[in-house]
């Protein structure tokens, strides 16, 4: 059995990578277990120095890694370059701030000295998706490795070359053998890996069903988990929004990475007073997007990552139209080679439609019209998801007040939702739990150990 890499822009097979059997999985976990005590014992400043080398390796090989991302999962080449640079930036960030984040925290008590020491848990298993094949990995690996944990990666099956390339990054950076390993295993083998006593914690970015499955297995094994699951982010447009700025960001927020992002804006909740104007401008911006070869610098709409994902998206769109949604533009697959789908807008989306209830993971924006601010907030919070969201208004104080009421892990006012190493990232409700990034993310996978000395 093999993992097959397919170029989603052309359908061309790029190569195959052998799948591991249980013997190879066991050998890899043994290697990581052997490396874990030594890595944890290294002073944090030395671990940080090693991470700086990782950042340099990423930058030195940026074009190679960017091309690999684009070839395997289809994103625009300039977006792939930005992804690699973002990974390098995260490594630099944790290399700089890791010692402070992990510094002992002295706390006054009845002891002569008492403090909290932030110590590594051991080996963290990461189950990662294909949509940001480098970034999703580095945003767990950079803080986790600085904290003294070792890491094993089970990557998505359609990006096997990216998965192996990431392991090679750490090898090129001179990391000790076994500190970071990629496991070439199927989803069906993840349960065995989680249950293995050589794995101490699990982080997953993926779908809600995958999150429930992983959490159940990890819970039965009493292992810490962090889950970043789906999202259906609200993009709330109030009547006093700067529509030029708002529409410009709306197009970018929805169609970056062909709309295949958990924190992409998905539900455009627009108050009636500006709905017609917003939709007209939004339509013009969406129709200006140019699908094509993602390696071409002039292309502005990438293919979806797989043809089956495009087919699933189209069924959601068709069934929503049948239930009363209005196809304002697009809403059809693009004929020919590759997994392309038209940049699309579904207007007048309402309860009972798949587009209203579900996450649409692709280049389709849905417009939900609200009576006023209170109605917009109600609609935003009706979703079972709670990852990100944004509010668009010329009144920053009004935006802040509303942002605090949106049920999500983050809400941006007059800005596109994004992840940033300086800020914690994660969701609530069916979007998961726990946090990545910032010191919050680093502390998810440490033992906050109390030391009490009389």
What does the pLDDT look like over 174-200, one tens digit per residue? 999 999 999 999 999 999 999 999 999
The model's pTM is 0.97
Q: Give the 3-state secondary structure of the chain.
A: CEEEEECCCCCCEEEEEECCCHHHHHHHHHHHHHHHHHHHHCCHHHHHHHHHHHHHHHHHCHHHHHHHHHHHHCCCHHHHHHHHHHHHHHHHHHHHHHHHHCCCEECCCCCCEEEEEEEECCEEEEECCCCCCCHHHHHHHHHHHHCCCEEEEECCCCCHHHHHHHHHHHHHCCCCCCCEEECCCCHHHHHHHHHCCCCCEEEEECCHHHHHHHHHHHHHCCCEEEEECCCCEEEEECCCCCHHHHHHHHHHHHHHHHHCCCCCEEEEEEEHHHHHHHHHHHHHHHHCCCECCCCCCCCCECCCCCHHHHHHHHHHHHHHHHCCCEEEECCCECCCCCCCECCEEEECCCCCCHHHHCCCCCCEEEEEEECCHHHHHHHHHHCCEECCEEEECCCHHHHHHHHHHCCCCCCEECCCCCCCCCCCECCEECCEECCECHHHHHHHCEEEEEEEEC
CATH 3.40.309.10 domain residues, the chain: 233-420
Q: What is the pLDDT of residue 297?
A: 96
The yes-or-no answer on residue 195 being catalytic is no
Q: Does domain 2-229+431-453 have CATH number 3.40.605.10?
A: yes
Q: Which of 48, 87, 91, 262 is catalytic?
A: 262
287 is catalytic: no
Q: Which of 32, 195, 213 is nearest to 204 (CA)?
A: 213
Those residues whose C-beta lies under 8 Å from the C-beta of residue 261, and which sit 6 or more positions away, are 131, 132
What stretches in the chain show pLDDT beneath 50? none
CATH architecture group of domain 233-420? 3-Layer(aba) Sandwich (3.40)
Q: Tens digits of per-residue pLDDT, 402-433?
A: 999 999 999 999 999 999 999 999 999 999 99
- Residue limits of CATH 3.40.605.10 in the chain: 2-229+431-453
User: Which of 167, 228, 436, 444 is labelled catalytic?
Assistant: 228
Q: What is the pLDDT of residue 87?
A: 98
What distance in Å separates the CA atoms of residue 204 and residue 214, rounded to the nearest whole number?
A: 8
For the segment 40-96, what is each residue's pLDDT rounded down to a tens digit? 999 999 999 999 999 999 999 999 999 999 999 999 999 999 999 999 999 999 999
The reported pLDDT for the residue numbered 273 is 98
Supply the pLDDT for residue 18.
97
């Amino acid at each position: 059995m093999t993992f097959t890499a397919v170029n989603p822009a052309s359908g061309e097979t790029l190569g195959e990578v052998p799948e591991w059997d249980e013997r190879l999985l066991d050998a890899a976990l043994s290697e990581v277990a052997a490396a874990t005590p030594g890595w944890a014992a290294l002073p944090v400043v030395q671990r940080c120095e090693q991470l700086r080398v990782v950042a340099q390796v990423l930058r030195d090989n940026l074009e190679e890694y960017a091309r690999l991302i684009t070839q395997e999962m289809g994103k625009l080449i300039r977006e792939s370059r930005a992804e690699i640079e973002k990974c390098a930036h995260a490594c630099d960030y944790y290399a700089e701030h890791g010692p402070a984040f992990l510094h002992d925290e002295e706390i006054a008590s009845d002891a002569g000295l008492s403090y909290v020491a932030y110590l590594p848990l051991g080996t963290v298993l990461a189950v990662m998706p294909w949509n940001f094949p480098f970034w999703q990995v580095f945003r767990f690996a950079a803080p986790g490795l600085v904290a003294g944990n070792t890491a094993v990666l089970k990557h998505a099956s359609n990006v096997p070359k990216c998965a192996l390339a990431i392991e090679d990054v750490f090898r090129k950076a001179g990391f000790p053998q076994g500190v970071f390993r990629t496991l070439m295993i199927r989803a069906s083998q993840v349960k065995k890996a989680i249950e293995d006593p050589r794995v101490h914690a699990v982080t997953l970015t993926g779908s809600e069903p995958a999150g429930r499955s992983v959490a159940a297995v990890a819970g039965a094994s009493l292992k810490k988990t962090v889950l970043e699951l789906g999202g259906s982010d609200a993009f709330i447009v109030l009547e006093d929004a700067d529509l030029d700025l708002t529409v410009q960001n709306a197009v970018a927020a929805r169609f970056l990475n062909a709309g295949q992002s958990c924190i992409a804006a998905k539900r455009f909740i627009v108050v009636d007073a500006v709905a017609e104007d917003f939709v007209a401008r939004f339509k013009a911006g969406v129709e200006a997007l140019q699908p094509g070869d993602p390696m071409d610098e002039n292309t502005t709409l990438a293919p979806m990552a797989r043809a089956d994902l495009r087919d699933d998206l189209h069924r959601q769109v068709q069934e929503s139209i049948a239930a009363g949604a209005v196809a304002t533009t697009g809403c059809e697959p693009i004929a020919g080679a590759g997994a392309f789908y038209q940049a699309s807008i579904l207007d007048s989306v309402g309860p009972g439609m798949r587009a209203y209830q579900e996450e649409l993971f692709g280049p389709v924006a849905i417009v939900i019209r609200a009576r006023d601010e209170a109605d917009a907030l109600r609609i935003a919070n009706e979703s079972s998801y709670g990852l990100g969201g944004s509010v668009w208004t010329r009144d920053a104080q009004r935006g802040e007040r509303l942002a605090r009421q949106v049920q999500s892990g983050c809400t941006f006012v007059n800005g596109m939702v994004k992840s940033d190493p300086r800020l914690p990232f994660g969701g609530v409700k069916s979007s998961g739990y726990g946090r990545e990034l910032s010191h919050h993310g680093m502390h998810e996978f440490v033992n906050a150990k109390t030391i009490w000395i009389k």
